[in-house]
Amino acid sequence: MVRLADLPPDERAHLIAKNSEPLRPAAFVAARKPLSQRRVALVTTAGLHFRDEPSFDLMDASYRVIAGDLRGDELVMSHSSVNFDRGGFQEDLNVVFPIDRFRELVEEGVVGSLAGQHFSFMGSLVSPPMLEASARQVAAVLRKDGVDTVFLTPV
């Protein structure tokens, strides 16, 4: 982890300015059916996208749709944090986006099904209020697809 004092002045000032109110406690939601009957979507803040799509920009609150039938070699990462080591992602996509592991869980009957679309956000330097509009759009798509469980990999 980098110390604030070791960062360039602009980056240090930016991070100090990000100090915000803590998030409210998560609402408790009781499971209404077993995992083996649920439809699961993956959501990551690793800044993943397909090679032919625009990369995420600094302070980007948009999202990218990741097709459910993707191959791991089709994705790239444009995560922009100086504190993030991409080594794990470069060796195995599943470190930040465990699509292959979830496919295995579906095959084994542990998970009911996977969503037709998954989603990626840029987690670095974006405050939660900035993401609200995009998160609401994604939630609407997930509801329409019958998703009742989201697995989040925060980066």
| Residue 130 clears pLDDT 90, i.e. is over it | no
Note whether residue 67 is domain-resident: yes
Note whether residue 24 is domain-resident: no
Q: Which has more confidence, 136 or 96?
A: 136
Domain coverage including residue 130: 35-153
Which of 80, 76, 79, 149 lies closest to 112, judged by CA?
149
Note whether residue 30 is domain-resident: no
Note whether residue 52 is domain-resident: yes
Which of 43, 27, 57 lies closest to 97, judged by CA?
43
Note whether residue 15 is domain-resident: no
**What average pLDDT does this structure show over 65-75?**
86
Q: What confidence category does residue 109 fall into, taking pLDDT thresholds of 50, 70 and 90?
A: very high
| Residue 95 clears pLDDT 70, i.e. is over it | yes
Amino acid 1: pLDDT: 62
**What average pLDDT does this structure show over 25-52?**
88
Under 8 Å CB-to-CB from 95, ≥6 apart: which residues?
A: 88, 89
Count: domains in the chain: 1
Task: Give the DSSP letter string of the chain.
Answer: ---GGGS-HHHHHHHHHT--PPPPPPPP----S-GGG-EEEEEE-B-EEETTSPPPPTT---EEEEETT--GGGEEE----TT---HHHHH-GGGT--HHHHHHHHHTTSS-EE-SEEEEEB-TT--HHHHHHHHHHHHHHHHHTT--EEEEE--
